[in-house]
Structure 1
């Protein structure tokens, strides 16, 4: 076997990360569990205590572990929002030149999310959606001096309610991250194309109508059309964003 096919040796930090991950997947550790004391865990994993600390720090950065001063190291709740937080870093690095790429991902994910939500939304959640759109109705009354940031906040909340109602926490966490990271692209569209606010409101109302009817297929189509418009605008006008210069 040539050197080209020899795998690079794993670092001791990787050994720690893989070892703790194995303990989690086997059920030896779970959410809220306290890790064994440093000396014992280092011996169990066959690494130095310094390497163990490096691995623990890496897992803490990823939201898997948390160190409590004077009390040891614990597994976090392992909730999707925390574990998927690195996605936010990736999304930040994509801004603003590739905002349309993030919006395309949103479109694909939210089309399925709204389809799931159509059969799972509670009456209270439908009322929340209606109240959120009511906030936008009030904002529109103040045209041309609309509170555009308030509009984007309401827009964001509308999509987050639907994502949570999908019943899939991991999917909801991803969408929550992407919706937040496309704030500037959506605000720029609202600033440069004032008619987009009314268009968005009409599209949101159409989505809500399908959710009230509990129609997954039509809700999916409405969401796809809505987000495709935002995506195409962002792609066509990316160079006009002053922060993209």
Structure 2
């Protein structure tokens, strides 16, 4: 493990220093082993770890390449991690969302195109039509917030918030809302967010998003307590 960790560190350093820029092909396993003074098995295991982290792309019969290192790739595993969190740590995820999502929504109010606003309006209509169907609502809810956050143009923020808003988390909130006959409340909150965005008012959009995250957080706490 120590040799593998050393090989991972060295490969990461080469990438960070630009010796292996995005899209570049790595030297062969034998060349890396000689260059780093590490056994080939250590290099091989390091490549596997970095491949799983979406830093490297192993193309069978072609070679190993550095990926684009885009945020959507490197943060892809965050969503998987969130899905595995225990109940007592899910509230921490909601706290992070409360810190980030309102600010992102405020920024989106100044950056959304008319076409994106029209798309968001259609998603809102779809949510209203599916107000009693938790599974459909989960999908529309995710699409609504993804559209808003993507409009910031910040791929890192989009990937981060997408990972923090996993399907399991959304399912728990929406099922709790439907069972508690309160789905109409959060649907109204989505409409308030939409209207604030449509009016290009960043402060109102931020406040509307904060209220919505607080509602979701409150209902998640209720669901977890009942469980």
The bucket for the TM-score relative to the shorter chain is over 0.9
Aligned to 1:174: 160
Q: How does 1:78-97 map to 2 (within 5 A)?
A: 78-97=69-88
- Give the Å deviation of 1:231: 0.3
How well do the aligned residues superpose, as a CA RMSD in angstroms?
Answer: 1.7
In terms of mean alpha carbon deviation, does 164-173 or 230-239 score higher? 230-239
2:23, 2:66 within 8 Å by CA — same for their partners in 1?
A: yes
- Give the Å deviation of 1:213: 1.6
Q: Residues of 1 paired with 2:170 and 2:128: CA distance? A: 20
Unaligned runs of 5+ in 2: none
Q: How does 1:6-21 map to 2 (within 5 A)?
A: 11-21=2-12
- Which whole-Å deviations, capped at 9, do the CAs of 1:176-216 have from their partners, x for residues lacking one? 11222412222332332122x21111111111111112111
Does residue 204 of the first structure (1) align with residue 195 of the second (2)?
A: no
Larger radius of gyration: 1
Unaligned runs of 5+ in 1: 1-9, 141-145
Of 108, 119, 138, 1:117 maps to 108
Q: Residues of 2 paired with 1:70 and 1:139: CA distance? A: 48
TM-score of the aligned structures, taking structure 2 as reference length: 0.93
Q: How does 1:151-230 map to 2 (within 5 A)?
A: 151-181=137-167, 182-195=169-182, 197-230=183-216
- Give the Å deviation of 1:97: 4.1
Aligned to 1:240: 226
Q: Residues of 2 paired with 1:188 and 1:97: CA distance? A: 19
SS at match of 1:94: coil
Q: Residues of 1 paired with 2:225 and 2:28: CA distance? A: 54
Q: Residues of 1 paired with 2:185 and 2:208: CA distance? A: 13
Q: Residues of 2 paired with 1:39 and 1:210: CA distance? A: 59
1:100, 1:232 within 8 Å by CA — same for their partners in 2?
A: no
Of 108, 122, 125, 2:99 maps to 108
- Which whole-Å deviations, capped at 9, do the CAs of 1:138-160 have from their partners, x for residues lacking one? 224xxxxx222111211111101
TM-score of the aligned structures, taking structure 1 as reference length: 0.86
Q: How does 1:7-86 map to 2 (within 5 A)?
A: 11-86=2-77
Of 129, 133, 148, 2:134 maps to 148
Of 114, 129, 141, 1:138 maps to 129
